[in-house]
Amino acid sequence: MADEDVEDVKELEIESIIGFDGANCRSLVTHPDGKHIIYALGNKVTIMEWASKKQRFLVGHTNIISCVAVSSSGTYIGSGQINHIGFRARVIVWDYKKMEIVSSHEQHKVRVEGLVFSQDEKFAISIGGRDCGCVIVWNIHEQQVVSAIQVSKGAAGDATVIESMRKRGECFITGGDVHLSVWVINVETKSLKQITVHTMKRRRTILCVDVNDRDEVAYCGTSTGDLMKVRLHFHHDPDVLDPVKNPLVIGYWAKLSKKQLERGKVDLYGNGIRSVKLLYEGPILIGAGDGTVEMVEEHIKLINPEENLKMPSMPALRVLKSTYVNSSVSAIQILGDHTTILVGTVKSEIYLIRMKQFVAELVITCHTSSIYDVAFPYNFSEVFATAGKHDVRLWSMATMGELLRIQCQNFNCSSLVFAYDGKSLLTGWSDGIIRSFTPLTGRLIYAILNAHNKGISAIACTKDGKRLISGGCEGQVRLWDVSPCKQQLICTLKEHKGPVSAIDTNIDDTEAASASADGTCILWDLRRQCRRSILFANTLFMCVKYFPSGVQLLTGGSDRKLSYWEVLDGSLVRELEGSPSGAINALDISPDGLKFVSGGNDQIIKVWTYQEGIATHIGVGHAGAVTCTRFSGDGKHIVTCDASGCIFLWKAPIDEKEPVPSIKCLETVREEPEPVEGQPEEEHIRDLPTVRSCVKVAPCVCDVAMGDRSPKVCCRMRGGGDGSAMVPDTSRSVKSVQSVKSVASVKSTKSEQSVKSVKSVQSVKSNHSVGSVRSNHSVGTVKSNHTVTSRNTKKK
């Protein structure tokens, strides 16, 4: 029976992954066909078609991938990984067309620092990290090691970068901490010849290397901020492998500064040159640690001996074009017809730069650290939101692109939930403040100060949107009466002795369940505001979820068990072994109640049948512990997030015999209130996919924790907290166009505005929507609408 159960378990189908590991200098490469990009994502190699954004994945590594490479013709893809101390790291060579492993080896210890293919595609050359220090030449066809030797000698430091020659398949160059050498492979004797480059007694830490097409010179970016030019001295005949004489450094080039500098100083790149790329026409692309991306050319200027430069660098780089990205550059690649530049950064972002305009455009982004929570709007599956370090992000299910980013620096968003009407996004932060934002522009609606003195760990809301339940790290559960203009504490429930890890409400909002790390799960009566029952277990409860009918509870925790509880009397109904090795951190039940999904520290996603308690599907691919998981509103997709910052979109298993209920049919029955004449409509989450995301983000500049302690006054004076940082493109939104027209009419009739506003407020007060009118009458809202008007006018 056990063998039959194992055979019945199927693999979850991955639809897409949001993520990019840009911390390593060799984490992003472009395929020679000009249509695909290749980058590392956790323990997977991702191949993305640039035009359609379709992804394919190469699975075979057991830990985080540290470097990727592609051969000159695009036949092979190589990848190296990081492993634990004392274990060997694996290098894999893949067949690009077949998506299969051609060969692999585990000759390096702990880490593979760099990997390149020889020009003739016979060898895969890799260098190890600090614990290894070896260079390995691997014969791809014979699947054996040609040679292995220590890279550093004498006072030289570790080698961190490697680059192959363009004309000679048996030659390559390595660089690192006070290290720069040219290597020649002898296939007959299976040995390596090392030729040290003379650096004129100047010590440099080399961060990147690139060689020109004829193997004449090499350009090395240094941590000092200057560009090192090396003459390789190879023979003009490519068949001659050994250099005619020893390679040497020609000079150390700095920028030709446009401003007047102090005597003896030169203009260097901030935080060093992290990436360098030679173009066919002659210019050089340079990416610096301070986010500067420039196109330069050599223009050696004769230095007056009387200037007495204090630095050994000479100003010889004339800047042709310049732009800036948000963080340190980790990779620069040329895409397609050599008119497009892709720039990868250490903050896991990819920018697109066109040669003519030379303006950086953000095209791919993701979280840079752990994701703490994920949420879907009620009965809406086209967007979802994630909570992470410093920010909250909204994503599109169709394009898997970022729609909106709300930043709150130096604080972590631990929990979030959409209001059931879709007009607000409720978030809980580590500074103990509950913040409510609009879902389209990210404006701050209100903020509850000092909601919990040790930070907020969980949050939930009722379906009517009037009550909010929050849990804190001190163990308290608090019930709030909230509206856009007033937030009041109803009661504080003090039963837990440890942090509250999760909160969920039942279907009719009469009960709420809170899970805590103290080993208890408490059911609260929201009407009487007291404890109804308590559940005990020898575990640290990490997650809790009501069954859709509200008759049972499903919990998970550190004991690796999935427990069914009866809500009526709090009795334990059933226990399942959710994981053989790690704690259960997240679970969610499908909208129809037939299945549920779980994830934990074992980095495995499991889909179970609720009634039978059998795992039917397993998803493998996360590079970190799974922190949160959610079913989409239609039950067709599953979104999971992990501690490494990756977001996985899985295709939910659906029984073909049972039709999936349509959720959009509810919209034909629901009666929407008529908009007030002369007033812009409220923001709704369903309008978000029609709004194009801008490069700029929406920071929480109206943060009451930083300035005025009164949230109502601060929001009204600044238009809800958005300032002018986020201006959405509403050319495809019908509702936003109507709001723009209304603002235009308001602008044309300034003398009658006061009378109309009073009448509209009185009419809206009867409909219980005073808060929305007040927020729409704020000065900042009118300014933002005028900005949208000007943008649409230009388009027309």
pLDDT in tens, 90-125: 999 999 999 999 999 999 999 999 999 999 999 999
More confident residue, 300 or 202: 202
In the chain, what are the helix, strand and coil shares in percent, each to the nearest 5? 10, 45, 45
pLDDT of 313 reads 81
Instruction: Scan for tokens 């429930």, then name that residue.
Output: 493
Provide mean pLDDT across the span 460-485.
92
Residue 115: CB partners within 8 Å, gap ≥ 6? Answer: 26, 67, 68, 69, 78, 79, 80, 91, 124, 125, 126, 127, 162
Measured distance CA(42)–CA(624) in Å, rounded = 8
pLDDT of 677 reads 55
Measured distance CA(411)–CA(599) in Å, rounded = 26
Confidence of residue 304 (pLDDT cuts 50, 70, 90): low
pLDDT of 81 reads 93
Give 392-401 contacts, CB < 8 A, sequence gap 24+.
392/416, 392/425, 392/427, 392/437, 393/367, 394/425, 394/439, 394/688, 395/18, 395/647, 396/689, 397/632, 397/637, 397/649, 398/689, 399/53, 400/16, 400/18, 400/53, 400/649, 401/693
Residue 324 has pLDDT above 80, yes or no: yes
pTM, entire model: 0.78
H/E stretch holding 7? helix 2-8
What three-state secondary structure class fits 539? coil
- What share of the chain in percent tops pLDDT 90? 59
pLDDT in tens, 212-261: 999 999 999 999 999 999 999 999 998 899 999 999 999 899 998 887 77
Residue 297: CB partners within 8 Å, gap ≥ 6? Answer: 282, 283, 284, 317, 318, 320
**Sheet bearing 227-231, strands edge to edge:** 206-211, 217-222, 227-231, 248-255, 314-324, 292-298, 284-288, 273-278
pLDDT in tens, 584-630: 999 999 999 999 999 999 999 999 999 999 999 999 888 889 999 99
H/E stretch holding 714? helix 711-717
H/E stretch holding 743? helix 734-748
Confidence of residue 723 (pLDDT cuts 50, 70, 90): very low
Provide mean pLDDT across the span 758-787.
34
pLDDT of 682 reads 67
Domains for the chain: give ranges and CATH numbers. Answer: 371-655 (2.130.10.10), 737-796 (no CATH)
Of 709, 656, 111, 124, residue with least CA distance to 448: 709
Provide mean pLDDT across the span 523-545.
93
pLDDT of 124 reads 96
pLDDT of 117 reads 96
pLDDT of 689 reads 56
Measured distance CA(175)–CA(206) in Å, rounded = 6
pLDDT of 499 reads 93
Provide mean pLDDT across the span 267-277.
93
For the chain, the distance separating the N- and C-terminal CA atoms, rounded to the nearest angstrom, is 68
The pLDDT mean for the chain works out to: 82
More confident residue, 756 or 401: 401
Residue 665 has pLDDT above 80, yes or no: no
Report yes or no: 515 and 556 within 8 Å, Cβ to Cβ: no
pLDDT of 181 reads 93
CA dist 127 → 132, 162, 180 (Å)? 8, 8, 14
pLDDT in tens, 397-439: 988 889 999 998 889 999 999 999 889 999 999 999 999 999 9
Residue 161 has pLDDT above 80, yes or no: yes
pLDDT in tens, 727-747: 334 333 333 334 333 433 434
* DSSP string of 540-587, one letter each residue: -EEEEEE-TTSSEEEEEETTSEEEEEETTT--EEEEEE--SSS-EEEE
- What share of the chain in percent tops pLDDT 70? 80
Confidence of residue 465 (pLDDT cuts 50, 70, 90): confident
pLDDT of 707 reads 41
pLDDT of 281 reads 72
Of the listed ranges 263-267, 524-528, 567-571, 647-651, the least confidently predicted one is: 263-267
Confidence of residue 180 (pLDDT cuts 50, 70, 90): very high
Measured distance CA(288)–CA(328) in Å, rounded = 6
Residue 456 has pLDDT above 60, yes or no: yes
pLDDT of 295 reads 94
pLDDT of 737 reads 32
**Measured on CA atoms in the order 624, 62, 82, 102, is the torsion positive or negative?**
negative
- Eight-state DSSP code of residue 662: P
Measured distance CA(68)–CA(48) in Å, rounded = 14
Measured distance CA(624)–CA(533) in Å, rounded = 35
Q: What are phi and psi of 414, to 5 degrees?
A: -90, -25
pLDDT of 680 reads 52
pLDDT of 410 reads 87
Task: Note the residue count of the chain.
Answer: 796
